[in-house]
Amino acid sequence: MILRLKDIHISFTNAHNETFDLLRGVNLDVEKGKITALIGGNGTGKTTLFNIISGFEKNYKGKIEFEGHEVNFKRMPAYKISMEGIGRLFQDGQLMSGLTLMENMKLASNDTTGEIPFVSLLFPNRYKQAELKKEAQAREILTRIFGENNKYLSLLNQDASAFSYGEQRLLSLARMLMGGDRLLLLDEPTSGVHPQYINTIAQIIREMKEREGLTVLLIEHNMHFVREVADTCAYLDEGVIAEVGPTNVVLGNQKVRNSYLGL
Amino acid sequence: MEYVFHIIIMVCIYIILVLSANLTIGVANLLTMCQAAFYGIGAYIGTLFLMQFNYSFVLIAIVVMFFTGAFSLLISYASARLKDDYFIIATMGFQLIVYTILYNWTDVTRGPYGIPGIPGIKLLRIIEISGIYGYLCLSLVMMAIVVLLFRHLINSPFGRALNAVRADEMTAQALGRNTIRLKSMAFFISAAFTGLAGTIYASYVSYIDPTSFTLDESIFIISALFIGGIGNTKGPVLGAVFVVLLPELLRFVGLPDSIAANLRQIIYGLALILVMFYRPQGILGKTILK
């Protein structure tokens, strides 16, 4: 088990001072080396749960275990959680504009050599070697995912904003392979993406699991996609995990079909 | 010829000021309205050391940069807790507080009377820089060093990480970057070099008073930055040259001083409006303020 969520609660208060319990005791075990899909209707708290796991939401109750150890995520800033090995793709997450594709890839690396001001002036060789290593890693990842002589290799110095939304989603996923993450949280990776890219996204996610040995927890509304990539599926409803199990079983569950899929 | 040299010295000082502002505003997307406060802090600390101690310029520069940078921690604290417009207003508050202190702490700053007779800078405690030729050489050398340092910073992994903060702070955090620390370092460096420009200015003009370090001056520095362009080193250099040379060029048109002063403000304003409309990244800029 790479991640264990124990009795996670979170409430929000609206402008009229009314308190609303969004998560009412979420318990979820995410198995190491597997792809788990988190499904549920809009506003059920899936993204909030991701925010809790990745350190962007601190006002929750409950316990989180990561790799067998209980970690106080409330006290850890988001960047430290990332350094612990939990990566995150946001729902509207794209490449960072104003930076080239290569710069985007390098930023995802855990190696922060040269990010202290003027240090790269003092130790130029160490800095150059680190940069060359990151460049080689970026090229290798892009080659592995998109094939030899793919167009992205010739567009490494292109500003990120020059790529289409779908391409940016693909490249944002590829970028996640640069870091030393062991658990990836992907918030609707196919959202707003042209169908032609969805197969590539599925391929990248499978690659993350099979070649990199990573664990993936993803939020997704595209049930064909979920059926294609996810080993396990968890259904979040009314603030709790109502169903969890093999994807085909959960998606075939009558309760899920009635309340979420409307079948 | 001295007139031309004076203009070149002022251009060099403003290039340092605008480049420093560019690191926080243009690269990290943190619009601060208190650059003149750091300019003033640097000028007054430098003056104190120049008048009280017989230290070399290198030592005074290090001390001034350190202390002015230390004041930036107040702004870093605000940036960690305030966002967008609220942060901008907080920096304006800082600017007004610093001005008020400089104006009213008369025992130290002499308030509105200013401090006259500021001695020249001493290189290595032996050679005193005096006269316009000395300051021309010093300001040209300092400007060149600062341009090279900022160019290096912007293109280094540090600049890349700061650009990530500008583009998408949450994603930068999700990629393992301590954005509060990155912003604090940017504020420190920006304030430190602004303070250095203040010391060179104070020593060069040999007289300072608080009216040189007002909110208007902060707006003037930011205007230069936005006209020239943000996110790289070319834009700020062009902006600084433009705002310093414009009033001098108007002199040659032969307009009376009273009209030229107003016309200058109108041209600055018009230039800002045109740039915002047609080239929001500035004439030679790289990025757009979000």
Does the beta-carbon distance from A107 to B167 stay under 8 Å?
A: no
Does the beta-carbon distance from B163 to A120 stay under 8 Å?
A: no
Contact by Cβ (8 Å): A218, A36? yes
From A118's Cα to the closest Cα of chain B, the distance in A is 7
Best probe of the A interface among B23, B27, B149, B175, by most A CBs < 10 A, is B175
- Residue A54 has its nearest CB partner, among B153, B174, B287, at B174
What is chain A's pLDDT, residue by residue, as a tens digit (263 residues)? Answer: 899 999 999 998 887 888 889 999 999 999 999 999 999 988 899 999 999 999 999 999 999 999 988 888 888 999 999 999 999 999 887 899 989 999 999 999 988 888 999 988 888 899 999 999 999 999 999 998 888 889 999 999 999 999 998 899 999 999 999 988 999 999 999 988 888 889 889 988 998 898 888 999 999 998 999 999 999 999 999 899 999 999 999 998 888 887 776 65
Amino acid symbol at A63:
K
C-alpha atoms less than 13 angstroms from C-alpha of B272 in its C-beta half-sphere: 14
Reported as a single tens digit per residue, the pLDDT across B195-251 is 999 999 999 999 999 999 999 999 999 999 999 999 999 999 999 999 999 888 877
From B168's Cα to the closest Cα of chain A, the distance in A is 7
Can you state the percent helix, strand and coil of chain A, rounding each to 5? 40, 25, 35
**What is the interface size between A and B, counted as CB pairs within 8 Å?**
93
Query: What is the residue-averaged pLDDT of chain A?
Result: 91
Distance CA B95, CA B84 (A): 17
Please give the residue of chain B at the shortest CA–CA distance from A113: B157
Distance CA B186, CA B221 (A): 17
CA distances from A7 to A42, A61, A68, A239 (A): 21, 8, 16, 11
Best probe of the A interface among B171, B232, B281, by most A CBs < 10 A, is B171
Please give the residue of chain B at the shortest CA–CA distance from A131: B157
Does the beta-carbon distance from A118 to B164 stay under 8 Å?
A: no
**What is the reported pTM?**
0.91
From A20's Cα to the closest Cα of chain B, the distance in A is 26
Q: Which residues pair with A59 in a beta bridge?
A: none
* Band of residue B45 on the pLDDT scale cut at 50, 70, 90: very high
CB-based burial label for A168 (10 Å; 0-12, 13-18, 19+): buried
* Residue A62 sits at the chain B interface (C-beta within 8 Å): no
Can you state the percent helix, strand and coil of chain B, rounding each to 5? 80, 5, 20
In this structure, CATH architecture of domain A3-95+163-261: 3-Layer(aba) Sandwich (3.40)
Does the beta-carbon distance from A79 to B176 stay under 8 Å?
A: yes
From A234's Cα to the closest Cα of chain B, the distance in A is 24
Average pLDDT over residues B16-43: 95
Residues of chain B contacting A117 with CB distance shorter than 8 Å: 153, 156, 158, 185, 189
* Residue B136 sits at the chain A interface (C-beta within 8 Å): no
* Residue A77 sits at the chain B interface (C-beta within 8 Å): yes
Residue B164 sits at φ, ψ, to 5 deg, of -65, -40
Does the beta-carbon distance from B176 to A83 stay under 8 Å?
A: yes
